[in-house]
Amino acid sequence: MITLEHVTKIYDGETSPVLKDLSMTVEEGDFCVITGRSGIGKTTLLRLLLKEVSPTEGKIFVEDRDISRIPSFGIPGYRRKFGVIFQDFKLLKDKTVFENLEIARRIYGWSKKDTEAKITHILVFLGIDRLHARYPYEISGGEQQKVCLARALLNSPRILLADEPTRNLDPEASAEFVRLMELIHRQGTTIVMTTHDIATIKQEDVHYTEVELPETEDKDYA
């Protein structure tokens, strides 16, 4: 489903690569966990998959498509195959949980009725339907991350990208979040997740494949 062939990424103005000659494959239905020290390029890898940045060398294929050939006007459509969970929650503080999800759902052009039904279904599935009228500042970090997971699932993505989703959570919330990710994985979603907390994943009943990014130069990238 996802293949990287000898991918190197050097950011403008830098001489040392954040990723160097990286080759890897994520099969459909995999739960791929990307590990490595802080600054080794885990976030850069996800940005490459989303076409937020382009590789300096090498090729990336998603569903057998060379994504370097996607024109700029085709990028929004391409990104719709992904659900994305960011390191920081990126929730609108002046909007309720439901309103945050409603705004995200409108991007896909769904009717109000369909939007409300989909949001309600996901909130119930994640066990946070009681939070629908609360604002982000009224709920815990673990609950906010569940809202972010709900947002990522709104368009029923085939691929879920999660960038250090447990980074700001306590151990109990981290374990619960990992269990939710595994549940989603078992329903057929392909997951690519970066983490510094592989220990929590190992403690849970998660069927995953670990890919540790190799060291390159001693540079502090994300």
Per-residue confidence (pLDDT) for residue 146, from 0 to 100: 97
Per-residue confidence (pLDDT) for residue 129, from 0 to 100: 97
Per-residue confidence (pLDDT) for residue 123, from 0 to 100: 97
Count of beta carbons in the 10 Å neighbourhood of residue 180: 16
Phi-psi region of 17 (alpha: psi -120 to 50; beta: other; left: phi over 0): beta
- Measure Cα distances from 121 to 24, 132, 209, 221 in Å: 35, 12, 29, 38
CA distance 23 to 32: 14
β-strand partners of 160: 83, 191
3-state secondary structure of 196: coil
Query: H or E element: which one contains 182?
Result: helix 171-186
Per-residue confidence (pLDDT) for residue 111, from 0 to 100: 78
Q: Which residues of 78-94 are buried (b: 16+ CB within 10 A; e: fewer)?
A: bbeebbbbbeebebeee
* Owner of token pair 């390191």: 87
Per-residue confidence (pLDDT) for residue 17, from 0 to 100: 96
pLDDT in tens, the chain (222 residues): 999 999 999 999 999 999 999 999 999 999 999 999 888 999 999 999 999 999 999 999 999 999 999 999 999 999 999 999 998 889 999 999 999 999 988 777 777 888 899 999 999 999 999 999 999 999 999 999 999 999 999 989 999 999 999 998 999 999 999 999 999 999 999 999 999 989 999 999 899 999 999 887 544 444
Per-residue confidence (pLDDT) for residue 217, from 0 to 100: 58
Per-residue confidence (pLDDT) for residue 222, from 0 to 100: 45
Per-residue confidence (pLDDT) for residue 105, from 0 to 100: 82
